Amino acid sequence: MKRKQKRFLQMTLLFTVALIFLPNIGLWSLYKDKHLVKSAEPGEQQTFPLGLGDGQFYSWTDGLRRKDWHDYESIQKEAMRSGKGEHGKPYPLTEEDHDDSAYRENGFNIFVSNNIALERSLPDIRHANCKHKMYLERLPNTSIIIPFHNEGWTSLLRTIHSIINRTPESLIAEIILVDDFSEREHLKDKLEEYMARFSKVRIVRTKKREGLIRTRLLGASMARGEVLTFLDSHCEVNVNWLPPLLNQIALNHKTIVCPMIDVIDHNHFGYEAQAGDAMRGAFDWEMYYKRIPIPPELQRADPSDPFESPVMAGGLFAVDRKWFWELGGYDPGLEIWGGEQYEISFKVWMCGGEMFDVPCSRVGHIYRKYVPYKVPSGTSLARNLKRVAETWMDEFAEYIYQRRPEYRHLSTGDISAQKELRKQLKCKDFKWFMAAVAWDVPKYYPPVEPPPAAWGEIRNVAANLCVDSKHGATGTELRLDICVKDGSERTWSHEQDRTLFHPVSNSCMDCNPAEKKIVMARCDPLSETQQWIFEHINMTVLEKLNHHASS
Ligand SMILES: *[C@@H]1O[C@H](CO)[C@@H](O)[C@H](O)[C@H]1NC(C)=O
Ligand SMILES: *[C@@H]1O[C@H](CO)[C@@H](O)[C@H](O)[C@H]1NC(C)=O
Identify whether 177 is part of a domain: no
CA 222 to chain centre: 23
Does residue 500 fall inside a structural domain? yes
Minimal-distance CA residue to ligand 2 atom 11: 538
Q: Which residues contact 489 (CB under 8 A, 6 or more apart)?
A: 468, 469, 504
Residue nearest ligand 1's atom 14 by CA: 173
The model's pLDDT over 392-422, given as tens digits with 9 standing for 90+, comes to 999 899 899 888 888 888 899 999 999 999 9
Is 429 part of any domain?
no
What residues contact residue 3 under an 8 Å CB cut-off, 6+ apart?
Answer: none
The rounded distance, in Å, linking the Cα atoms of 19 and 346 is 51
Q: Name the β-bridge partners of 57.
A: 51
Pocket probe for ligand 1: among 226, 227, 249, 320, the residue whose CB has the most ligand atoms within 8 Å is 226
pLDDT of residue 42: 37
Task: List residues near ligand 1 (CB under 6 A).
Answer: 141, 173, 225-226
Residue to mutate, 538, 541, 548, ligand 2, most ligand atoms under 8 Å from C-beta: 538
Report helix, strand or coil for 476. strand
Ligand 2 centroid to Cα of residue 454, in Å, is 16
Low-confidence ranges of the chain (pLDDT < 50): 19-55, 548-551
Identify whether 508 is part of a domain: yes
Could you tell me the distance, in angstroms and rounded to a whole number, from the CA of residue 222 to the centre of ligand 1? Answer: 15
CATH value at residue 470: 2.80.10.50
Which residue's C-alpha comes closest to atom 13 of ligand 1?
173
Task: Please count the structural domains in the chain.
Answer: 2
Q: Which atom of ligand 1 is nearest to the CA of 140?
A: 2
Per-residue pLDDT at 264: 96
Q: Which atom of ligand 2 is nearest to the CA of 539?
A: 1
Which residue from 320, 363, 366, 329 is spatially nearest to 347, judged by alpha carbons?
329
Q: What is the DSSP letter of 126?
A: S
Residues ≥6 apart with Cβ < 8 Å to 5: none
C-alpha–C-alpha distance, residues 378 and 460, integer Å:
51
| Residue 503 counted as domain residue | yes
Atom number, ligand 2, closest to the C-alpha of residue 536: 14
Going from the Cα of 457 to the center of ligand 2, the distance in angstroms, rounded, reads 22
Task: Please give the number of the atom of ligand 1 that sits closest to the Cα of 225.
Answer: 1
- Residue minimizing CA distance to atom 2 of ligand 1: 141
Distance CA 121, CA 161 (A): 11
Q: Which of these three, 55, 79, 103, is where a domain ends? A: 79
C-alpha distance from residue 243 to each of 32, 142, 229, 355 (Å): 23, 11, 12, 16
Ligand 2 in contact with 541 (CB < 6 A)?
yes
Ligand 1 centre to CA of 173 (Å) is 7
Distance 235 CA to ligand 2 centre (A): 56
Decide: 538 in ligand 2 pocket, CB within 6 A.
yes
In angstroms, what is the span from residue 225 Cα to ligand 1's centroid?
6
Closest CA to ligand 1's atom 12: 173
In this structure, how many other beta carbons lie within 10 angstroms of the beta carbon of residue 519?
17
CA–centroid distance, residue 491 to ligand 1 (Å)? 68
Which residue owns the Cα nearest ligand 1 atom 8?
225
Domain span at residue 546 reads 454-550
Residue 63 in any domain: the answer is: yes
Dihedral (Cα; 476, 482, 485, 488), 10-degree rounding: 0
- For ligand 2, atom 14: residue with the closest CA: 538
Determine the atom of ligand 2 nearest the C-alpha atom of 540.
1
Tell me the C-alpha distance between 181 and 176, whole Å: 15
* Centroid of ligand 1 to alpha carbon of 137 (angstroms): 15
Nearest to residue 241, comparing CAs of 187, 188, 189, 166? Answer: 166
Q: Tell how far the Cα of 461 is from the centroid of ligand 2, in angstroms.
A: 21
pLDDT at 542: 61
Residue 544 CA to ligand 2 center (angstroms) comes to 11
Q: What are the phi and psi torsion angles at 304 (to 5°)?
A: -90, 0
Judge contact between 398 and 496, C-beta under 8 A.
Answer: yes
- Nearest-CA residue for ligand 2 atom 10 is 538
CA dist., res. 419 & res. 298, Å (int): 32
Side by side, which strands form the sheet with 135-136? 50-51, 57-60, 65-67, 135-136
Interstrand relation of 172-179 and 142-148 (parallel, antiparallel or unpaired): parallel
Distance 138 CA to ligand 1 centre (A): 12
Looking at the chain, how many residues does it have?
551
Classify residue 524: in a domain, yes or no: yes
Q: Look at residues 56, 79, 102 and tell me which one is the last residue of a structural domain.
A: 79
Which among 238, 274, 234, 236 is positioned nearest to 109, based on CA atoms?
A: 234
Report which ligand 1 atom has the smallest distance to the Cα of 174.
13
DSSP states along 475-525: EEEEEEEE--TT-GGG-EEE-TTSBEEETTTTEEEEEETTTTEEEEE---T
Whether residue 540 has its Cβ less than 6 Å from ligand 2: yes
Ligand 2 site-directed mutation target among 541, 543, 548, most atoms within 8 Å of CB: 541
Q: Within a domain: residue 343?
A: no
C-alpha distances (whole Å) from 37 to each of 63, 66, 182 are 5, 10, 51
- Could you report the per-residue pLDDT of 264-282, keeping only the tens digit for each? 999 899 999 998 888 999 9
In this structure, which residue's CA is closest to atom 7 in ligand 2? 540
pLDDT of residue 353: 98
d(CA 344, CA 320): 13
